[in-house]
Amino acid sequence: MTADESGKSPVAQSRPLLKSKLFLYVTEFFSGMAVMAAELGASRLLAPYFSSSQIVWTIIIGTIMIAMALGSVWGGRKADQDPNPDKLYLRIMLAAAWIALIPLVGKYLIVLISGALIVTVSTNFLALAAFISCMVIFVPPLFLLGTITPGLVKFATDSLDDNASVVGRLSACNTIGSILGTFLPTFVTIPAVGTFVTFLIFSGALLLLPLIYFLAARVKLVTSAVSVVIFVLSAIASPMSGFAFWEKRGIAYEGESIYNYLQVKTFADRTILSTNVLFGVQSVTMNKPGMTGMYYDTALAAPAMADHADSALILGMGTGTYARQLRQYYPQMTIQGVEIDQKISDLALQYFKEPRNIPVSTYDGRAWLAADKRTYDLIMVDAYQDITIPFQMSSVEFFRMVRDHLKPGGVMVVNMNMIDDGAGSINEALTGTISSVFGSANLLTADVPDSTNRELFAKNSAGGGGASQAQKSHSSQEGARTRLGARSSLQDFAGGIMRSLPRLKDSILTRIWLSRWTRWQTSSSP
């Protein structure tokens, strides 16, 4: 196809909408918005299956940037070789139809890819499955969207005299669209209508551009009709099944908040909350009073370890499992909860029998702690984003804040989630961080029976000096003294447990802690 001196093809000159540059700028705006909406939608689509950890975010951002870069190179070459705007808007239509199909078929592709990998891959399963899923689902439409800007530059430029101004305006439109594509899904559409409908909203907005273009030119009408049918079918069928589409019974609620995918399931003996469809239980309530069979039972030793058990602060309240356990066994204890996700707090009242007389603040745990002036006998740190610990709640500064909010003789208990003792493991790093604040003599860990959780207990010794104790452990001589000091301090811990066990009334907790303490005593003998 030949072009005139301005570089525009006869097709471009014959299209009524291209006689003004306004439609080109609008196209760039919605293209930028669709890219960011797809990226944020990708994180929420993958999170229920692979979590929303930094690794998953890195995979999403990296693969999308690769797709956009390759699309830009290929799109620029095609714009020079064949400056046909019909082909450009056909690519936009294809990208919009693909994005519209993501809520319908994306979840099936993820499960299919995960099922194929789980029998063939022994290490790094989550990272590899997330990467392949992202490549299959999101790279094709983002590659197509990456071709848009070079083509628009070709059609919007009349001469080299205003070339830089045209590129600057197109870039501004793309950036403004990207800003809206970032904020709207996160703060408006996903909390209000969910990830699936969010994909449909932004793919529908993108699809309008080629539809208007082809209808105005009266070309590609059949292709346009097919794309509309695809969009409508996906809009009808997508909401019929959720993320856990294979679950036929037991799901009482499935939805999303600004922070999490949320699933409530009911069983004969309990109700559970999960933020991941494949693994993990974030909260539970038992239909009958008693132990949960989870890490909350082990964590009940914390008030027994403390000098007093009159007040408790729970950072990461969830639906109030630990608060209910404390209220059951320590009915006079004053409890304060902090939960960042208001939707979880709402579900706690609706499905999990959370006592309404326990105050719960909707706030980030660290920020709330920084503003709070009170001290507590017990502080539970159980804040997780999916299956990962927020980095701001795993630092030396954070645990110093926790220690400062503990009364003398108070105890902090941390849910460390995964049992992992390897060199360089998260547990090793987290234990070292806490030890530098509380002192290794005041630490005790316990693996939760029949689970992957580990609980770490740290006592705020009345004499303080946690950091100096940790520093002493760097030498072998002082390390031995610290070990003996730890044994002495933990004997006091165990004594508190032994005195308090009758109050707990459940023999399972007695067996757990007698077993843990006996083994620790044996391994700690000088």
Active site amino acids:
382
Type of residue found at 53: S
54-81 and 22-50 helices, crossing angle to 10°: 150
Q: Pick the closest to residue 381 from 353, 336, 329, 416 (CA basis).
A: 416
CA distance 356 to 489: 37
Q: 90 — phi, psi (to 5°)?
A: -70, -35
Tell me the two tokens of residue 11: 């097709």
Type of residue found at 191: P
Type of residue found at 61: I
CA distance 505 to 487: 27
Tell me the two tokens of residue 222: 């059949």
Q: 266 — phi, psi (to 5°)?
A: -110, 140
Q: Pick the closest to residue 419 from 390, 465, 370, 452 (CA basis).
A: 452
> Helix (H, G, I), strand (E, B), or coil: what is residue 79?
helix
CA distance 512 to 494: 12
Tell me the DSSP string of 25-73: HHHHHHHHHHHHHHHHHHHHHHHHHH-S-HHHHHHHHHHHHHHHHHHHH
Q: 90 and 166 in contact (C-beta within 8 Å)?
A: no
Cβ neighbours of residue 499 under 8 Å, at least 6 residues apart? Answer: 304
Tell me the two tokens of residue 100: 């519209």
Cβ neighbours of residue 452 under 8 Å, at least 6 residues apart? Answer: 417, 418, 419
Q: 138 — phi, psi (to 5°)?
A: -110, -25
Q: 260 and 271 in contact (C-beta within 8 Å)?
A: no
Cβ density class 11-27: b for 16+ within 10 Å, e for less? bbeebebbeebebbbbb
22-50 and 85-118 helices, crossing angle to 10°: 0
Q: 93 — phi, psi (to 5°)?
A: -65, -40
CA distance 434 to 414: 10
